[in-house]
Amino acid sequence: MQSVPIADLHPFITSPDIASKRTAAETIASHLRAHGYVGIKGHGIPQEILNNAFDVMHKFFDLPLADKMTAPHPDTPTPHRGYLAAGVEKSGNLGAVYASTEAEKAFLRSASDWKETFDIGSPANTSQPNIWPPASLLPSFQPTLLTLYTHLTTLSAHLLEALMLSLDLSASDRATLRNMHDPHEPSMRLAHYLPLSAEQLRDASVMRIAPHRDFSSFTLLVQESVGGLEFEERRGTGAYVCAVPRDGVVYLNIGDVFERLSNGVYPSPLHRISKPAGALEGGEDTIPSRYSIPFFVNIRPDAVIRPMPSRVERDGGEARFAPISYMDMCQELFTLTQPRGVE
C-alpha cells in the first residue's frame, strides 16, 4: 500500500518573502487538490508537547470506567465535550451516506466503533464549555491537553493562510474566511481504539472507524506508533493509501466545509481506521490499542457555507454548491453518528 505524501510548512511559517510563502503553500496545495490530504512537517509543535499529551491520554483511558464517566459527553449535539464510552458512537451511519449499494449501507449501519473518546474545546468557547474529570483524578490532564490545543490552533491558522494564498482569493474573501474560522471553535478529540481479539478481527461488524468524510473545515491528526489511518487515494477509486505514523508529522485532510468554501478545488476525502491487515495470518491473538488525537477545525456556528465569490469567478462563474447553514450540517452529523441522542 502506498503512503501519504509529506510537505514542509516551515518555509511558509518562517520566510518573510511572499514568493517563498507562495511556493510552500503551492506544494501543500498540489497534494490537496489531487487527493484532499497531505502530511505536514516543519509545523513548529515540539515533540515533547505531543509526547506529554499522549502520556496523560494513556493515563486517562486506563482509569476505571466510573472515573471516566465523571466527565460524560451529554446526549445532545452541544456541548460536544467529554467522555464517550466504546460502542456509543456509530461512524458507520456516516459511512453509509457514501456507500454505493443498499447492502453496504445496511452493513455499515449495523456496525459499531470499537473506540472510546474524549472531546475538548477552547476554554473561551462559552457556548460549548469543557467537561473535565475532577483534577484530583489526574492533575496534569487539563493543562497538558490545553497546551497542545493552543499549539494546534496556531498551526491551523498558518494552514488557513496557506490555503487562502493558494486559492488566490480576494482580500474581502480572505477576511470572511478568517472571521468564519474563529480560533475558539475547533475541537480536539482523544481517541483510544481498544485492543482487538482474534474473534473481533474476524467479526466484520466490529470496526475501528468506517470510511467517512469529515464535516470540519479541515482536520489535523497526530498519532502514536500503531497506525491504521487510511485515505482513499482519489475520490471514487476505492483504493486506499496509508498515513504512516511518523515523528514530527501532523496529517491534514480537507473536510466537507472547506470543499464547499473552495468551490470543490480541494476535495474532502474518504478515510477510515482499518484493522491491521494480515494480523490473523500472523498468528496474533490480540491487536494492541491505537491512540490518536484529531483536531477538527470548525467554523462559527452561525456561518452560512457557500463557495467564496472570488474563487467562483476564477472558476468561470459557476458555484458548485448551494449555500447551507453550518448548524444544519452539525445536526445531521450528530443524528447520524450518535443515534442514542435522537431516538
pLDDT of residue 335: 67
Residue 75 has pLDDT above 70, yes or no: yes
226-270 tens-digit pLDDT:
888 999 988 878 889 999 999 999 999 999 999 999 999 999 999
Kindly report the backbone phi and psi dihedral angles of residue 180, in degrees, each rounded to the nearest multiple of 5, phi listed first.
Answer: -65, -40
Task: Reply yes or no: is the peptide bond before residue 79 cis, omega within 30 of 0.
Answer: yes
Calculate the average pLDDT of the chain: 88
The answer for residues whose C-beta is within 8 angstroms of residue 95's C-beta and 6 or more apart is 108, 210, 211, 212, 272
pLDDT at residue 65 greater than cutoff 80 = yes
- Cα distance between residue 317 and residue 286, in whole Å: 55
Highest mean pLDDT among 113-117, 140-144, 237-241, 337-341: 140-144
Question: Please, which residues bridge with residue 100 across strands?
Answer: none
Return d(Cα 187, Cα 194) in angstroms, integer: 22
Domain ranges of the chain: 6-341
Per-residue confidence band for 132, with pLDDT thresholds at 50, 70 and 90: very high
- SS3 call for 74: coil
Q: What class does CATH assign to 6-341?
A: mainly beta
The tens digit of pLDDT for each residue in 176-215 reads 999 999 999 999 999 999 887 777 767 666 667 778 889 8
| pLDDT greater than 90 at residue 1 | no
